[in-house]
Amino acid sequence: MRVLGPGEDEKAATKPVRFMTWVNDADFTSGFYFSDIRSSQVDLEFIVESSEPVWLRDLAAYAHPDATYREFERGLVVANPSPRPYTFDLERLFPGKRFRRLKATANQDTKTNDGSAVAGRLTLEPKDALFLIREQTVKQ
């Protein structure tokens, strides 16, 4: 059963989604990405399969795609788990650093991993990720 407000139709309603995470006696962080929120409000329900007490220390919600990046000593990984394209501004995120794509071999994705330089804005398609190599800057 679904209850819709006046003037709302089925297309405007957010479909129910269920996520699961493990719980134990140590602090940990869980994150969930809800990609198709259509209504102006939603209800979050927490169900715990135990009689033990559970403490939520912090809860935050963001109206933004869950695009993420992680810089490593010699490179960068960017990921877009959302159902829409997402653009990373590499110059703003990593000022003064330069990156290039991996160079694929014949049995790999040679179109994506062509070894070319990546600068400025980088758009990833939905549910895609990219590994980049950091270019070493020459000090003068």
Task: Give the model confidence (pLDDT) of 77-116 as tens digits.
Answer: 999 988 889 999 999 999 999 999 999 998 998 999 999 9
Query: What's the CATH number of domain 68-135, 3.90.76.10, 3.30.70.1520, 3.40.720.10, 2.60.40.1180?
Result: 2.60.40.1180
In the prediction, which pLDDT does 77 show? 97
Instruction: Tell me, yes or no, if the pTM score tops 0.75.
Output: no
Say if residue 1's pLDDT is above 50: no
In the prediction, which pLDDT does 98 show? 94
Query: Residue 19 and residue 82: Cα distance in Å, rounded?
Result: 16
31 vs 68: which has the higher pLDDT:
68
DSSP class per residue in 82-127: SSS-EEEEHHHHSTT-EEEE-B--TTS-TTT-B--EE-SEEEE-TT
Amino acid at 45: E
Neighbouring-strand partners of residue 80? 128
Token pair recorded at residue 46: 């927490």
**Among 78, 84, 127, residue whose Cα is nearest residue 99:** 78
Count of helices and strands (H, E) across the chain: 1, 7
The residues spanned by each domain of the chain are: 68-135
DSSP letter for 74, please.
T
Token pair recorded at residue 118: 């990546």
Span 10-43, pLDDT tens digits: 666 777 778 888 877 888 888 888 877 777 777 8
Query: Residue 63 and residue 93: Cα distance in Å, rounded?
Result: 20
**What is the pLDDT averaged over residues 126-132?**
95
